[in-house]
Amino acid sequence: MSSITSSNGTINPSTTRIGWIGTGVMGRSMASHLLAAGYSLTVFNRTPEKSQSLVEQGARLAESPFAVARSSDVVFLIVGYPSDVRRAALDPESGVISGLSSGSFLVDMTTSDPTLAAEIYEAARAASCFSVDAPVSGGDRGARNGTLSIFAGGEEAAVGRLTPLFQCMGTVRYMGGPGAGQRAKLGNQIAIASTMVGLVEGMVYAHKAGLDVGKWVEAISTGAAGSKSLELYGKRILERDMEAGFYVHHFVKDLGICLKECQSMGLALPGLALAQQLYVSLMAHGEGHLGTQALILTIERLNNTCLKKNSESK
């Protein structure tokens, strides 16, 4: 098959083979949209059982990231930590880049370190391949609905060529050169962190003030305090639904990368630092497996209170 980077090479379901590494809460839904669009898919996950639903939809299971790359023209990667990204992308024996053919693509959708994104870009270029860092925002609901915001860094022409694939998952925006996608996502996480603190503090205040918190959430949702965080998590918090759409331990990882970046830039962001400490307290209580809306538990503990469930407040 001709390279998809050639003048007559286009990305479409009949000619482009897709690889996917990482089939967790986000990755599983994102990959399913590519299957639904008619693309052939080869998948890998360290826990193979988490790929079973994709296999039932027609995906083929591979034994390593290297094996995925050998069977793919474009490989997507969405795993947990920068160390996982490094291993999956750069391991000389089992990594993606070692297995890619000339002219192929690696797209890292993990929220990771911008300097690692630049390192992977250079390794891919040395192998005559392309690397794009393209982390996402929108949570599990955005992944399921195909409405994610995608922040892309790398060569603009490469991002443009990949747009048909990104459009299966959401809306892509080109942010700049290698690492720019990651830096855009880190800025996103900084904004979310303080927004979540404000949301749960407001809910605890409303509760202690004797208001019906459900009515309060509904009332502020159409005003200046309305936000995507309120839309995604307000009802879940009221229903004590702490199931992860985005894990606390992954958010703590993200905020740690943000703080590292700030330190290297000589940048003081006290709201970020406070939010990171509040989320770390959830880890200390063994709640890293919960969703980010579990921040309510930290603020409740600080104030020795607990929001009533919807059913209890009616």
User: Which candidate in 185, 228, 235, 253 is catalytic?
Assistant: 185
Reported residue count of the chain is: 314
Instruction: Give the Cβ contact number of residue 290 at 10 Å.
Output: 19
What's the distance, CA 108 to chain centroid?
Answer: 10
Encoding tokens for residue 73? 């023209």
- Dump the DSSP string for 233-262: HHHHHHTT----SSBHHHHHHHHHHHHHHH
Note if 215 is an active site residue. no
d(CA 117, CA 111): 10
Task: Give the CA distances from residue 249 to residues 252, 280, 281, in Å, rounded to whole numbers and listed in that order.
Answer: 5, 8, 11
Question: What single-letter DSSP state applies at residue 167?
Answer: T
pLDDT more than 70, % of the chain = 95
pLDDT recorded at residue 304: 97
Task: Report which DSSP code applies to 221.
Answer: T
pLDDT tens by residue, 148-173:
999 999 999 999 999 999 999 999 99
pLDDT in tens, 236-292: 999 999 999 899 999 999 999 999 999 999 999 999 999 999 999 999 999 999 999
What percentage of the chain has pLDDT greater than the value 90? 93
What DSSP designation does 50 have? G
Tell me, what's the pLDDT at 118?
Answer: 98
Query: Are the beta carbons of 16 and 162 closer than 8 angstroms?
Result: no
The pLDDT score that the predictor gives to residue 32 is 98
Contact 229, 137 (CB under 8 A): no
- 0.85 exceeded by the pTM? yes
